[in-house]
């Protein structure tokens, strides 16, 4: 599905982050305007199924398995009720591991039971409510939900503090020799509210930068 821009004022977000954090401001100078792209989402079930398939795999391998999973459904559009009726053998034949097959089945069952909300209900929930609800699904942890909040729901104030890239980027812009603990990163990130998603994008960019962030 096509990527879309975020629905908030990115310019205002970047300006606020500049004022709140001089080190992050240097990263902003290095990487320019905020350019994260959001993914369109038909249903939370579909987005989470994709997340489960992609866990701990390279993009190419995960993409091939995901394509085979989608091919099990009419028009390539997965639904919880159809998946719940599939055999483990059919799911495993796509390349899913036993653990991911169990996670996909649990996702389907919890979607049918409305533990996993529909898209409209999800958009009306707070970030914390969404995390609490979705981590009940087997194989779906807080990080996975945070990625959904950021990339699908376009929530502006998410900081995935356990993410290795986020921690590496923070260490780089702060000139730290060791990776920060998630609790310390969250404490520092309080100054980035309500734009921690935007700050996270710059941390990811910093983690990818081999030359480092220029000093004053």
128 is an active site residue: no
| pLDDT value of residue 2 | 40
The β-bridge partners of 38 are 4
Buried b (16+ CB within 10 A) or exposed e, 149-185: bbbbbbbbbbbbbebeebbbbbbbbeeeeeebebeeb
- Across all residues in the chain, what is the average pLDDT? 92
Local confidence band at 3 (pLDDT 50, 70, 90 cut-offs) = very low
Local confidence band at 115 (pLDDT 50, 70, 90 cut-offs) = very high
For 62, list phi and psi in degrees, rounded to 5: -65, -40
The residues spanned by each domain of the chain are: 3-37+158-208, 44-151
Q: What is the mean pLDDT of residues 188-204?
A: 97
Tens-place pLDDT, residues 155-182: 999 999 999 999 999 999 999 999 999 9
**Angle, CA 166 vertex, CA 162 and CA 167 arms, to 5°:** 70
| pLDDT value of residue 38 | 84
Local confidence band at 4 (pLDDT 50, 70, 90 cut-offs) = low
Name the pTM for this structure.
Answer: 0.88
| pLDDT value of residue 210 | 46
Give me the catalytic one of 163, 184, 208, 216: 163
CATH number of 44-151: 1.10.340.30
Pull the structure tokens for residue 14.
Answer: 């970047």
CATH number of 3-37+158-208: 1.10.1670.40
């Amino acid at each position: 599905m096509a990527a879309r821009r975020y629905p908030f004022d990115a310019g205002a977000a970047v300006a606020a982050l500049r004022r709140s954090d001089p080190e992050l401001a240097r990263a902003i100078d290095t990487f320019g305007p905020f350019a994260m792209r959001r993914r369109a989402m038909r249903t939370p079930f579909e987005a989470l199924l994709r997340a489960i398939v992609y866990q701990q795999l390279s993009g190419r391998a995960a993409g091939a398995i995901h394509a085979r999973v989608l091919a099990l459904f009419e028009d390539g559009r997965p639904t919880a009720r159809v998946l719940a009726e599939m055999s483990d053998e059919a799911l495993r034949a796509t390349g899913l591991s036993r653990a991911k097959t169990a996670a996909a089945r649990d996702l389907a069952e919890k979607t049918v039971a409305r533990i996993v909300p529909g898209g409209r209900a999800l958009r009306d929930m707070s970030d914390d409510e969404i995390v609490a609800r979705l981590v009940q699904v087997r194989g779906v942890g807080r990080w996975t939900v945070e990625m959904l909040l950021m990339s699908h729901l376009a929530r502006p104030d998410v900081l995935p503090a356990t993410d290795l890239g986020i921690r590496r980027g923070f260490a780089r812009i702060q000139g730290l020799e060791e990776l920060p603990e998630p609790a310390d990163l969250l404490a520092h990130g309080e100054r980035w509210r309500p734009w921690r998603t935007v700050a996270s994008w710059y941390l990811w960019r910093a983690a990818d930068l081999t030359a480092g962030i220029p000093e004053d």
